[in-house]
Amino acid sequence: MMSVPGRSGTRRVALTLLAVVGFAGVFAPRAALGAPASSAVGTSDSSLTASNARNARLRPADDSLRGRSGKLLMRLVTRARATLALPFFARFFGDSAVERPGLYSLPDSILAHPFTFIALRPFTDKQQGRVGPYRIGFWPSERGRLTTDAYENPDGFIEVTPDNMNMQVSEHFRLADFLTHDQHDVWPKYLVLNEDLVDKLELVIDRLQQNGIRVQHMTVMSGFRTPWYNRHGGRVGGRAELSRHMYGDAADVFVDNGRGRMADLNHDGRVDSRDAKVILKAVEQVEREHPELSGGVGVYRATRAHGPFAHIDVRGWRARWGRS
């Protein structure tokens, strides 16, 4: 992990942060960092202190760095696509840092919580279906099969190592939660992950809790699946040739309150697909509130291999299956 070094460096970043707050306030109000009224936009540089910066927290406004849930702890940066995070990232770490893939953490003193920018390995680093020794395979559009936006190749990959795999991407999820379950001894691994998916999962947890349902932990049974794994790997229910799992915007999840499988969410004394429907209901509520996070929900029954679960994605249009 790289981070901004030293105390003077921290102060410099704090000043930069405040400059960015001002910048965002003028040019991108919906993407603004939330600065409390007492803090520093308009304050002269000489009066700024580290504690001013500590107060300049991110706010859970729509499309803020911390997402709609206010619980994101990372943002992806890539040259290929103009992202919300890119200008912030460039101001903190320099224009050319985006060419150096890796994790760039802000010191806790800046935002009072960890926050990491992730510069992606470009998609073109995949050669003959691999990045380094890690086998990934080929996306449908590489095979000339599909050209709609939703099935374009990903922009790039998060490089995951034993050192960074436990990084929190949000309040409830780590990088490792979304890795393809294969090639156990091969490192680094490569991950495609859509921030909107993580944001939506956090909103679903929130909504479940507002509905009075206890959520100790939400387990991701399956997150990203490399195209290679999607074709050849393991035993995973619901695998489809155009699986959203290959695009990093889908997760198969259950609420685990300590038993390692779905909890009895509807308190009917049984653990079955009706508990997955409790998750479906929460997703419906989240999508009503945030139509831009619309996507698929699939409800799955238990099999010998796994308990009941819900598939959730952010494909961009509504889809439902498995509700009968």
Give me the residues that bind Zn ion (CB under 5 A), please. Answer: 252, 311
Question: Between residues 195 and 252, which has the closer beta carbon with respect to Zn ion?
Answer: 252
Burial class (CB in 10 A: 0-12, 13-18, 19+), 233: middle
Nearer of residues 261 and 311 to Zn ion, judged by Cβ: 311
**Exposed / middle / buried, residue 54 (Cβ in 10 Å: 0-12, 13-18, 19+):** middle
In angstroms, give the least distance from the CB of 178 to Zn ion: 12
> Is 199 or 252 the residue whose CB approaches Zn ion more closely?
252
Residue with tokens 């449908």: 140
| Closest CB to Zn ion among residues 82, 305 | 305
To Zn ion, the closest distance from the beta carbon of 165 in angstroms equals 21
What's the closest the beta carbon of residue 168 comes to Zn ion, in angstroms? 23
Return the residue matching tokens 């696509």.
Answer: 81
- Say if CB 297 and CB 280 are below 8 A apart: yes
The distance of Cα 207 from the centroid of its chain, to the nearest Å, equals 18
CB 253, min distance to Zn ion, A: 9
Gap between the Cα atoms of 36 and 49, Å rounded: 15
State which residue, 58 or 218, has the beta carbon closest to Zn ion: 218
CB of 175 to Zn ion, least distance (A): 19
Backbone angles phi and psi of 12, in degrees to 5: -60, -45
Distance CA 119, CA 158 (A): 7
First-to-final CA distance of the chain: 47
With H, G, I as helix, E, B as strand and everything else as coil, classify residue 315. Answer: coil
Closer by beta carbon to Zn ion, 85 or else 250: 250
CB of 317 to Zn ion, least distance (A): 16
Q: How far apart are CA 67 and CA 33, in angstroms?
A: 11
